[in-house]
């Protein structure tokens, strides 16, 4: 399963990239606003750091304008995945941008029917938002499972990019279901390593070997 980092903060991307845990990056207009940077500049910088897909989201809503913005974003670097909303205009633009040769990430997906449309529009990635469904007491992981079944039924090549991830359990359950990618905030990815028994066991090992006075170097 690929790990994408859901942020536009250069320092966070760099830190995780040095751990070898960054297979790609996703941004969105809210993450761009939070970064305080301009879309073009920060996107170009992210692409210079990360070799995997970097999702950059359009801000237009009409298909012809989405296509124009997508072509501009896609021209920034070869690893750009143009992010378009799951609307009829977004789906129409997706087909055109894919025929142009760009990667396209169809975002703001909240139903399996929407995901079916994205696959039929030849999306490179579909971004179902787990956390935002859970936030309103709907079943975010159930959506990932439904999309996995449907895509496997018909051999759709669109990659399931599980998004809006809030917890390590979202990561675990996405892996169990077989999502191709998760995109998560840096903090969630970093917390995957945590377990109290690991910390306790390491402390005991180090204390015991210290009592022997031995050193390897």
> What minimum distance in Å lies between the beta carbon of 119 and ligand G3P?
19
Return the structure tokens found at 136: 């309103």
Phi and psi at residue 66, to the nearest 5° = -60, -45
> Are 121 and 86 spatial neighbours (Cβ–Cβ below 8 Å)?
no
Looking at the Cβ atoms of 76 and 81, the one nearer to ligand G3P is 81
3-state class (DSSP) for residue 16: helix
- Residue 198 three-state SS: helix
Residue 52 Cβ, how far from ligand G3P at the closest point, in Å?
15
Of 114 and 209, which CB lies nearer to ligand G3P in the complex structure? 114
- 65 or 134, CB closer to ligand G3P? 134
DSSP letter, residue 150: H
Catalytic residue among 62, 83, 120, 211: 83
CB of 150 to ligand G3P, least distance (A): 21
Which residues have C-beta within 8 Å of that of residue 4, sequence separation ≥ 6?
Answer: 22, 23, 24, 25, 26, 52, 53, 55, 161, 181, 182, 183, 184
| Measured distance CA(177)–CA(148) in Å, rounded | 7
How far apart, in Å, are the Cα atoms of 44 and each of 38, 77, 175? 10, 7, 30
**DSSP reduced 3-state for 39:** helix
For ligand G3P, which is the closer residue by CB, 136 or 207? 136
List interacting residues with ligand G3P (CB under 6 A).
6, 26, 28, 127, 129, 131-132, 163-164, 183
The answer to whether residue 120 is catalytic is no
Q: Minimum Å distance from CB 95 to ligand G3P?
A: 22
Catalytic (active-site) positions: 83
């Amino acid at each position: 399963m690929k790990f994408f980092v859901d942020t536009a903060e250069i320092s966070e991307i760099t830190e995780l990239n040095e751990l070898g845990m960054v297979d790609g990056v996703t941004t969105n207009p809210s993450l761009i606003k939070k970064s305080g940077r301009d879309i073009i500049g920060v996107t170009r910088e992210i692409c210079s750091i990360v070799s995997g897909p970097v999702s950059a989201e359009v801000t237009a809503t009409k298909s012809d304008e989405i296509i124009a913005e997508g072509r501009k974003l896609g021209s920034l670097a070869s690893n750009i995945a143009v992010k378009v909303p799951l609307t009829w205009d977004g789906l129409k633009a997706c087909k055109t941008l894919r025929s142009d040769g760009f990667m396209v990430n169809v975002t703001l997906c909240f139903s399996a029917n929407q995901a079916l449309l994205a696959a039929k529009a030849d999306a490179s990635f579909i971004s179902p938002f787990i956390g935002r469904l859970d936030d309103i007491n709907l079943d975010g992981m159930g959506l990932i499972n439904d999309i996995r079944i449907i895509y496997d039924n018909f051999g759709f090549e669109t990659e399931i990019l599980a998004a809006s991830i809030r917890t390590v359990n979202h990561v675990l359950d996405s892996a169990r279901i077989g999502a191709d990618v998760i995109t998560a905030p840096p903090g969630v990815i970093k917390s995957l390593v945590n377990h109290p028994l690991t910390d306790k066991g390491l402390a005991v090992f180090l204390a015991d070997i210290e009592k022997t006075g031995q050193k390897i170097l």
